Every structure is written in C-alpha cells, then in structure tokens.
Amino acid sequence: MDGVAELIGGPRIDDLLRRAAGRTPRHPALVADCLVLDHAGLDQRVTDCAEALRGAFGGPGTVIAIAAELTVEFAVTFLGISRSGNTSAMFNPLVPDDTLVHVLNSCGARAAVLSPRMHRRIAALRPRLPLLRQLVVTADAGDGTPVLGELERAAVPAGEVVETACLQFTSGTTGAPKTVRLSHRNLLVNAAQSAHAHRLAADSVSLNNLPSFHLMHLNTALAVGATHVLCPEEDREALVGLARTWRASHLYSLPVRLSRLAGDERLPGFRIPSLRAVLSGGSALPPRTTVALSEHFGVPVVQGYGLAETSPSTHFDLPEGPTVGSSGPPVAGTACRIVDVRTGAVLPIGERGEIQVRGPQLMLGYLGDSPADAVDADGWFRTGDVGRIDEAGRLFVVDRIKDVFKCDNWLVSPTEIERVLMRHPAVADCVVFDHPDELSGAVAVGLVVPRGEGVDPAALAEFANARLPYYEHLRQLRLVESIPRSATGKVQRRELRDRLFGSL
C-alpha cells in the first residue's frame, strides 16, 4: 500500500472533502455547466445538505435513495447523506420501472432525494413503494413536494459513523438485482487505491464523460484534492472543448463512447494538449480504439476491472506501460487468483478460469446475507467472470460465467428482457442472450416461439425496446419452432448462444 495509505483519510467518505477544504479551500473541486464549486464551497453545501437531511429524516442509519445522475446535486446529496450519519441507496436512473420498484423495496429505503425529473417518475410509482415514506426534491417540482434547501435543519452529532455507508445494486446469476453493502472504509480505501493507480494528484483535472455518476470518479478526485469536471453528454466537440478549457489531464469515458470518438471524422482536429491519460472500464475496450486514441493524443489509453462488490476497482492497467487488451495488475493491497470453474483449484499463469479477488475494498456483504454467503473463509470473492493472468500479473478478462452481461457499461439481465417479451400476446416462449459487439461490448439478441401465424419479429423487438432502457434493447430477434430446455426446464443459454453465433 506504498503511496496509498496517506490518501485514505476518513473515518467517513465525506471527510475526504473536509480534508481537501482544509488544505486547498479555493481550489476548484466540482465543475458542471456554468457552475464552479471550490473545495470550501462544496464542503459548505454538503454540510447544509447534511443538516437538512438530519432534520427531515433523522438518523443515524436511515436509508435514503438517490438517483445516480451526473450532476452537482447528486455529489452534494451523496456526501450530505454520509455527513448526516445516514446510508445512501444509489440507483441507476435508466432502469425500467419494475426494476426500480424492486431495488427500492429490497433496500428498505424510507426516503428519497430526487431531481424534479426523477421525482415525477418515482411519484407515479408510489403505490408500489410501501416503504418509501418521504420524498424531497433538489429543486421546486411545482407540486408542493418539500425542497431540500428549504427544510428545517438539525445539528449532526460529530464523529458519527454508521457501518453501511451506501447500498449499490448489481445483478446476480438469475438477473435479480442484489443489494451490495459498502462501508466507509471500503469507499475510502478504494478511492485511494484508484487515485494511486490512475496517477491522480492535486493538480489533476479529471473529466467525467459517463452518462451517470459512479462514486469512484468523485471519490478519487476528493482523495487527492483534484478538480472534477462533469460532462454527461456525448457531444464529442463539446467534450474536447471542455477538456481544453479546463486543461483536463484525465479523461474518463465508456468503451462505446471512446470508440465513437476514435471513429469520428473530426478526430484529427480534436487536440487536448494537457491530456495525460484516457481511462475506460466496465466492459472491454476494443484494441483498435485503444491504438487509435493513443496514437492520436499521444497518451496511454488504459482500462480497468472491478465490480459493485469491490467498491468498485480491483485492477487498472499501468499508464506508464499499458498492455492492449489487459485490465492491468491488481490495485494496491489487492490479491487476485484464477481458479478452475468446476473444482476451485488454483490455476497456473496463463490458464483461464474464474477470477477471484481479495482486498480491503471488498464489500461488507449482500443485504440480508452473511458475508460467508459471498466470500470464502479465506476472504476470496468469486466474481463469476473468466480470465487469465500473465507472467507480469496483468489480468485479461476473457468471458463471463453469468448469463448477465454488460452493454455500454450497464449490466443487462436477459431474464428481465424475456419477461418484457413474454407480455406480448404473440410470444409463446423466448430466450435472450448476449452477442459480442465491438462498440458496446455485447448486445441483446433473442429467439421467439410465436403464438400463431404472421408474427413479425421486428414488431416484437420494437414492443420490448419501448419498455426497456437503451442498453437492454434487442438488436435482433429470430422466430423458431421451439427452444431447447433441460429436464428441469432451464434454458442452456451458453450452449445455445455458441451454436448460433456463427449465423448471427
């Protein structure tokens, strides 16, 4: 943990901001649109938010839901929940209503702090959310819902730390989202690990070009006192302009967005002299994208690996010596091994097997389960992904054990897509699985057993896609007479997928 320990801070995740405000109060901390908040200004907003939340929802330990929108309001609210002594439940604003209802009910959220846009959506779902008692908006929604900035405040006891800092959601092998419990220590350690791996420093400017907020990017900037610039839109000309204006040193984006940037005919005119590294994660970055952007910008283009259960990072490629296609070595204080999928025996270098990881960023556990249900007696977490490690200790992720896959960095559940398809009266049976896609990592395709004659597969896909977020959209459907199933009625997805890949 050399070079990492001094970055950890704490004991709460919001203490990273408090430390930065004490050291460099006037240094820009967070930038979005025309708003620039320095460390002191952001810290004051977080304190105001914490006192308002404590007054409205009490504490400690109240579970407060927030949508992970890439906004200043999300950052203030997340840190404010921490400072108020409560627990945040972060949900993806792009998930369909049924999934949203499931995650909010399963995490036990009693309150939610929402943007006016998200408030309209949640308000319509209130009859299905019996545990959710109080809604607060970050700006006037026009319907009398309490506004965060107008709430009566209450003092927050000094030094109060709850065990669970935040709840995040992931998908299990059945596609049902699991609730991951992360501690303040998990988040603090991983912020330091990631900042060190990304070579961030106080003079760094990280430009966040993801469609939603991931805590790693905010927390790493706070850990070193750097500037964090938000750019949620995919407008590549605007992205480059913002990078030049703020002299961005680190550009964070998704593989699909970076691939589109690499293929943009305007790329020769896109220059960012201040750039030191381009960083990607969540799904595989196509090698030709890596090479094209690295050659164009003259900087390393690197990718990492991690999971919600690991806060999230476990690996990141070395900016000073990247290897195309690799997720790099483990971050500081983290161990990784490859085991036989069937026997659990540790495999030698170069052989493929299940990736298992161990480290201080590993979650407390899944909500409702004991830690032993997810981690073995020696502290190894079974990721459900397949990979190999080379002689230098670099990880190469090569496949997935789980049926769940990622498209544009979003986890996709084939089961959920199948449930939507089955709502159509012309669908008698169906199966959905992933198909490799160079830009998105993978996309959803499927087979349908029609009910009756004259069924149009394109119309079925349109029906489902209208009810799903973009990353779960079906790119192709085929009509078949039957779908092979095991004796217990289960679909052998991998076998079926492998058999059909040649013709898709």
Question: One fold for both 40-185 and 405-503?
Answer: no
Q: Report the pLDDT value the prediction gives residue 174, as an integer from 0 to 100.
A: 44
Q: For residue 197, which amino acid is it?
A: A
C-alpha closest to that of 484 among 407, 416, 431: 431
Q: What is the domain partition of the chain in residue ranges?
A: 40-185, 233-400, 405-503
Q: Which residues pair with 485 in a beta bridge?
A: 491
Q: Report the pLDDT value the prediction gives residue 31, as an integer from 0 to 100.
A: 98
Tokens of 487: 């004796």
Q: Report the pLDDT value the prediction gives residue 488, as an integer from 0 to 100.
A: 41
Per-residue pLDDT of the chain in tens (504 residues, 90 and over written 9) = 768 999 999 999 999 999 999 999 999 999 998 899 999 999 999 999 999 999 999 999 999 999 999 999 999 999 999 999 999 999 989 888 998 999 999 999 999 999 999 999 999 999 999 999 999 999 999 999 999 999 999 999 988 999 999 999 985 444 578 999 999 999 999 999 999 999 999 999 999 999 888 999 999 999 999 999 999 988 999 999 999 999 999 999 998 899 889 999 999 999 999 999 999 987 788 888 999 999 999 999 999 999 999 999 999 999 999 999 999 999 999 999 999 988 999 999 999 889 999 999 999 999 987 656 679 999 999 998 889 999 999 999 976 676 778 899 786 878 789 889 988 999 988 999 999 998 999 999 999 999 889 999 999 999 999 999 999 999 999 999 988 865 445 676 767 777 675 555
Q: Report the pLDDT value the prediction gives residue 370, as an integer from 0 to 100.
A: 62
The domain defined by 233-400 carries CATH number 2.40.70.10: no
Tokens of 325: 């296609």
The number of beta carbons lying within 10 Å of the beta carbon of residue 464 is: 27
Q: Return d(Cα 97, Cα 120) in angstroms, integer.
A: 12
Q: Report the pLDDT value the prediction gives residue 66, as an integer from 0 to 100.
A: 98
The domain defined by 405-503 carries CATH number 3.30.300.30: yes
Q: Angle CA(425)–CA(428)–CA(431) in degrees, nearest 5?
A: 115
Q: Report the pLDDT value the prediction gives residue 173, as an integer from 0 to 100.
A: 41
- The single residue listed with the structure tokens 């080379």 is 390
Tokens of 15: 């203490």
25: left (phi over 0), alpha (psi -120 to 50) or beta: alpha
Contact in structure between 50 and 84 (CB atoms under 8 Å): yes
Residue 366 neighbours by CB under 8 Å, 6+ apart? 178, 179, 180, 181, 373, 374
C-alpha closest to that of 463 among 419, 413, 408: 419
Class of domain 40-185: alpha beta
Q: Report the pLDDT value the prediction gives residue 373, as an integer from 0 to 100.
A: 67
Residue 321 neighbours by CB under 8 Å, 6+ apart? none
In this predicted model, what pLDDT tens digit does every residue of 266-294 receive, in sequence order?
A: 999 999 999 999 999 877 888 889 999 99
What's the pTM value of the predicted model, to 2 decimals? 0.85
Residue 495 neighbours by CB under 8 Å, 6+ apart? 484
C-alpha closest to that of 95 among 106, 84, 83: 106
Q: Which residues pair with 206 in a beta bridge?
A: 228, 250
Q: Return d(Cα 403, Cα 434) in angstroms, integer.
A: 8
Q: Return d(Cα 451, Cα 489) in angstroms, integer.
A: 19
- CA 233 to each of CA 118, 380, 400: distance values in angstroms, whole numbers, following the listed order: 18, 38, 30
Peptide bond preceding 11: is omega within 30 degrees of 0, i.e. cis? yes
Half-sphere exposure of 75 (CA within 13 A, CB side): 28
Q: Which residues pair with 306 in a beta bridge?
A: 313
Residue 334 neighbours by CB under 8 Å, 6+ apart? 193, 314, 315, 357, 358, 359, 361
Q: Return d(Cα 289, Cα 305) in angstroms, integer.
A: 18
Contact in structure between 432 and 476 (CB atoms under 8 Å): no
